[in-house]
Structure 1
Amino acid sequence: MNCLIVRIFWLWILIFARPSTAAMNSFIYIGCSQLKYAPGSPYESGVNSILTSVVNAAAFSGYNTFKFPFPASSAVSGLYQCRGDLSGSICHDCVSEAVSRLGSSCVGAAGGAMQLEGCFVRYDNATFVGVEDKTVVTDKCGPPIDGGDESGVLTGKDGVLAYLMAGGQYFRVGGSGKVQGLAQCVQDLSISECQDCISEAIQRLKNECGSSAWGDMFLGKCYARYSERGYTAKHDENDDEMEKTLAIFIGLVAGVAVLIVFLSVLSKLLDRKGGSSGK
Structure 2
Amino acid sequence: MLIGKMTVLRRFIVLLVILPLASSLPPHTCITPSTDTNLPSSINVALDSVVKKAPGTGFAEFRNPGGVNAFGRCTGAHVGLSCADCLANAAAIFRGNCGNYETGVVWYNSCFLRYSTEDFFGSWDAQPIYLILPSTQDAQIPIQDAVLQLAQTVSNMAVQSGAKLFAAMDQAFNGLNIRTMAQCTQDLSTSQCQECLGWLRDNIASNCGNKDGCRLFHASCILRYSTGMFFI
Residue 33 of structure 1 corresponds to 31
- Structure 2 SS opposite 1:58: helix
Give me the whole-angstrom Cα distance separating, in 2, the residues matched to 1:194 and 1:227. Answer: 22
After superposing the two structures, state which structure 1 stretch, 210-219 or 87-96, moved more.
Answer: 210-219
Residue 49 of structure 1 corresponds to 45
2:85 pairs with 1:90: no
- Structure 1 SS opposite 2:56: coil
**Residue identity opposite 1:172 in structure 2:** A
Task: Report the TM-score, using the length of structure 2 for normalisation.
Answer: 0.76
Which aligned segments of 4 or more residues in structure 1 are displaced greater than 6 angstroms? none
Q: Aligned-residue CA RMSD in angstroms?
A: 2.4
Residue 193 of structure 1 corresponds to 192
Q: How does 1:1-279 map to 2 (within 5 A)?
A: 29-39=27-37, 41=38, 43-69=39-65, 72=66, 75-133=67-125, 135=128, 137-142=130-135, 143-146=137-140, 150=141, 153=143, 157-167=147-157, 168=159, 169=161, 170-177=165-172, 178-232=177-231
Give me the whole-angstrom Cα distance separating, in 2, the residues matched to 1:27 and 1:61. Answer: 29
CA offsets per residue over residues 124-154 of structure 1, 9 Å max, x none?
Answer: 11121211128452113233222xxx15x55
| Structure 1 stretches lacking a partner, 5+ long | 1-25, 234-279
Task: Report the TM-score, using the length of structure 1 for normalisation.
Answer: 0.64
Structure number with the higher helix fraction is: 1
CA offsets per residue over residues 40-91 of structure 1, 9 Å max, x none?
Answer: x3x443222111111211342211111234xx4xx11111111022131111
Go from structure 1 to structure 2 and tell me whether the alpha carbon gap of 1:227 and 1:104 turns closer, same or farther (over 3 Å shift): same
- Structure 1 SS opposite 2:27: strand
Residue 252 of structure 1 corresponds to none
Go from structure 1 to structure 2 and tell me whether the alpha carbon gap of 1:185 and 1:30 turns closer, same or farther (over 3 Å shift): same
Structure number with the higher strand fraction is: 2
User: How much identity, in percent, do the aligned residues show?
Assistant: 24
Residues paired across the two proteins, number: 198
- Asked which structure has the greater CA Rg, the reply is 1
